Amino acid sequence: MTVGETFTWLRRAAPLGRIDRRTWERIAIACLFGAAVLFPIAHRNDGDIDAAANALTFAALALGLNIVVGLAGLLDLGYAAFFAIGAYTYGAAASWQIAPDWSSFWEPFQWLGLVARFHEAGVADVVHFQVSFWLMMPIAALVAAFFGVLFGFPTLRLKGDYLAIVTLGFGEIVPIVARNTPSVTNGAMGLNGVAAPQLFGWSFGVDATPYYYVGLGLVAFLILTSQRLKFSRIGRAWMAIREDEIAAAAMGVNRTKLKLLAFATGAAFAGATGTLFVAKLQTATPEMFGFPVSVMILVMIVFGGIGSVWGVVLGALILQLLQSWFLEDLSGWLHSLGRLIHVEWLQRIELASSIELIFGLILVFMMLYRREGLIPATRRVAPLTTEEQTAAPTRGGFEGLKGLGAVEERGSDPLLEIAGLTVRFGGLVALGEVSLSMPAHSVLAVIGPNGSGKSTLFNAVTGLVSAQSGRVRFAGQEIGGLAPHLVLDRGIARTFQNIRLFPNLTVLENVLIGMHARLHTGAVEALLRLPRTRREEQEARDKAMEILAVFGNRLMPRVDHVVSSLSYANRRRVEIARALASRPKLLLLDEPTAGMNPAETLELADQ
């Protein structure tokens, strides 16, 4: 077969037009990973391999901070603290200066690889024992995750600038503690003599190549972890918190639990990376983990794309290699130019020493001109055409909202019973001794002028505001004082007078978040992608599409559009669909047609 015949056969076997986008993405990822594997073999330059290994380290750190900042929306300016915790956890167990005497563990555990031995640098006849690098990496990740949870508790109620200030303080405290605990960290002198990792008795030593491959494997694992978490029930909940905490809570998201999980996950990424970092350098000092490191990692995720897994990896690699390669080479070129044209100040320029200034300028530029980064996490869609905006609605073959099955509630007792409910804001009484009773299978309208307390009543019932007196019973259970996510778990869903959607998520993702309380996938299950997890996710998507089908061509052609691109009326429809997705026993609609024209109002009523 000739080359031409072979090419023709390949085209017929797999026409390019029939290969979907996901397949192309997998092919591209496989090619990139293959090129990364071959890089040290094809490019035998120790300096470049070392720079690439450092770049992979920062890519791993950026992936961890992206969980906290990019997905959960928690601004963390002290992320390097968890990096330091992981580094010192391994260093304290592997440095001949302060590590415990592991010699008694050598014989029984050497065959498991849990304990290894090494010679003190420059002293051939002195043997020390270390806990295996491969064992310490997950241990360091767990230790960092523990401190992530410990740190997360007092910051749960903080947002924005206040959270940033507290995290900045935590980031400064850890290096200070490291300087003042010489028995654990060797103080300001730092840990020296940290043993290099061993694999089947072979020590990595100071060769950059094995560290490069370990870093590549770590980044690949963290990319997989990030992707699986992002596109799971957990990831959607994180993004809901980032977009709108109040709406997330009303949709059943436990904000406390999910924020702590985000802090713990990001800290675990940093802890594992810190193990590799200190093993490669074979030393650890407090100055390695200061505030500039946290800022550098933050710039990397802003540059690459906040919330974009591939974006933050690309941003970290570009900026780190820019620092390692381009700035040093550019400084050399400027020195040569200065000597050539006899300009003394050009000969003194050292761009690498001004890296914080350069990174700061990059951060300002990106925030002004490309806030979404190199690879945006938010998908863009074309604006609606005039025909789409004016098209007559079509039904999706479903028998309207009445068929969307809320859980049946039987019995003669009232479904919702409110007695003497009072809500005050300072000296203002928003609700005064409100009482009502609502039987099951009924429709109740709450009517009143603006400012009469209708939305406050809904907020009090759903746990978004606290009542000073009175009680609320639902389906025979007291729900007064419950957190919003627990109220939804009991079976009460709601919409808002002012639309509260998650604007940077798609229509389908918004509806799936409405199902959060009815799904059961946890973080570990999301990582493992067990058959039960995949089945639950597929069933949730099918149910979401079934709900959206109620609105026909108003929403069905736009399921993969971000809701910020929708018309006002369609956003109202999405909010109702999201509330229905939780399969509520009681649906509270807070002015559901506010802002809609008469035709849109009648259309929604018909559905």
Burial 180-202 (b: 16+ CB within 10 A, else e): eeeeebbeeebbbbbbbbbeeee
Tokens of 344: 């003394």
Least confident of 135-149, 327-341, 558-572: 327-341
CA-CA distance, 114 to 109, in Å (whole number)? 6
Q: What are the CA-CA distances from residue 346 to residues 272, 331, 337, 353, 359 (Å)?
A: 41, 9, 7, 14, 21
Q: What is the pLDDT of residue 384?
A: 45
List of E strands, 268-410: 283-284
3-class SS at 391? coil
Q: What is the pLDDT of residue 406?
A: 54
Q: Which amino acid is at 18?
A: R
Q: What is the pLDDT of residue 249?
A: 96
Is the pLDDT score of 388 beyond 70? no
Q: What are the CA-CA distances from residue 93 to residues 174, 185, 190, 438, 445 (Å)?
A: 18, 10, 14, 64, 67
The DSSP symbol for 408 reads P
CA-CA distance, 512 to 578, in Å (whole number)? 7
Q: What is the pLDDT of residue 126?
A: 46
Helix axes 355-369, 291-304, angle to 10 degrees: 30
The DSSP string of 85-148 is: HHHHHHHHHHBTTT----HHHHHHHGGGTSEEEEEPTT-TT-EEEEE-HHHHHHHHHHHHHHHH
- The secondary structure of 245-274, three-state, reads HHHHHHCCCCHHHHHHHHHHHHHHHHHHHH
Q: What's the mean pLDDT in 469-486? A: 92
CA-CA distance, 193 to 37, in Å (whole number)? 29
Q: Of 293, 299, 298, which is closest to residue 365 (Cα–Cα)?
A: 299
CA-CA distance, 503 to 562, in Å (whole number)? 6
CA-CA distance, 149 to 534, in Å (whole number)? 28
154-161 contacts, C-beta under 8 A, 24 or more apart: 156/255, 156/256, 156/259, 156/260, 159/245, 160/75
Of residues 535 and 116, more confidence is placed in 535
Q: Of 222, 186, 196, 171, which is closest to residue 278 (Cα–Cα)?
A: 196
Terminal Cα distance for the chain, rounded: 62
What is the residue-averaged pLDDT of the chain? Answer: 84
Q: What is the pLDDT of residue 112?
A: 46
Contact between 583 and 539 under an 8 Å Cβ cutoff? The reply is no
Q: Of 409, 398, 326, which is closest to residue 543 (Cα–Cα)?
A: 398
Is the pLDDT score of 318 beyond 50? yes
Q: Of 45, 38, 72, which is closest to residue 306 (Cα–Cα)?
A: 72
By CB neighbour count within 10 A (0-12 exposed, 13-18 middle, 19+ buried), where does 1 fall? exposed
Helices (H) and strands (E) in the chain, counts: 25, 12
CA-CA distance, 516 to 233, in Å (whole number)? 7
Is the pLDDT score of 438 beyond 60? yes
Is the pLDDT score of 398 beyond 50? no
Q: What is the pLDDT of residue 575?
A: 96
Residues 6+ apart with CB under 8 A from 104: none
Is the pLDDT score of 16 beyond 50? no
pLDDT one-digit tens code per residue, 516-568: 999 999 999 999 998 999 999 999 999 999 999 988 888 999 999 999 999 99
Helix or strand run (H / E) with residue 204: none
pLDDT-derived band of residue 512, with 50, 70 and 90 as boundaries?
very high
Q: What is the pLDDT of residue 99?
A: 57
pLDDT one-digit tens code per residue, 228-241: 999 999 999 999 99
By CB neighbour count within 10 A (0-12 exposed, 13-18 middle, 19+ buried), where does 605 fall? exposed
Is the pLDDT score of 594 beyond 60? yes
Q: What are the CA-CA distances from residue 126 to residues 103, 119, 184, 214, 367 (Å)?
A: 12, 6, 22, 28, 55
Q: Which amino acid is at 124?
A: A
Q: What is the pLDDT of residue 187?
A: 86
pLDDT-derived band of residue 379, with 50, 70 and 90 as boundaries?
low
Of residues 217 and 3, more confidence is placed in 217
What is the CB-side half-sphere exposure of residue 115 using CA atoms within 13 A? 15
Domains of the chain from N-terminus onward: 21-290 (no CATH), 401-606 (3.40.50.300)
Q: What's the mean pLDDT in 71-83? A: 94
Q: What is the pLDDT of residue 193?
A: 80
CA-CA distance, 301 to 28, in Å (whole number)? 22
pLDDT one-digit tens code per residue, 257-315: 999 999 999 999 999 999 999 999 999 999 999 998 999 999 999 999 999 999 999 99
pLDDT-derived band of residue 513, with 50, 70 and 90 as boundaries?
very high
pLDDT one-digit tens code per residue, 155-213: 888 888 889 999 999 999 999 999 998 888 888 888 888 888 888 778 788 889 999 99
Q: What is the pLDDT of residue 343?
A: 74
Q: What is the pLDDT of residue 124?
A: 46
Q: What's the mean pLDDT in 137-154? A: 94
Is the pLDDT score of 458 beyond 90? yes
Q: What is the pLDDT of residue 100?
A: 58
Q: Of 243, 268, 269, which is closest to residue 255 (Cα–Cα)?
A: 243
Q: What are the CA-CA distances from residue 9 to residues 2, 3, 16, 20 (Å)?
A: 11, 10, 12, 19
Tokens of 236: 């959607």
pLDDT-derived band of residue 408, with 50, 70 and 90 as boundaries?
low
Residues 6+ apart with CB under 8 A from 601: 593
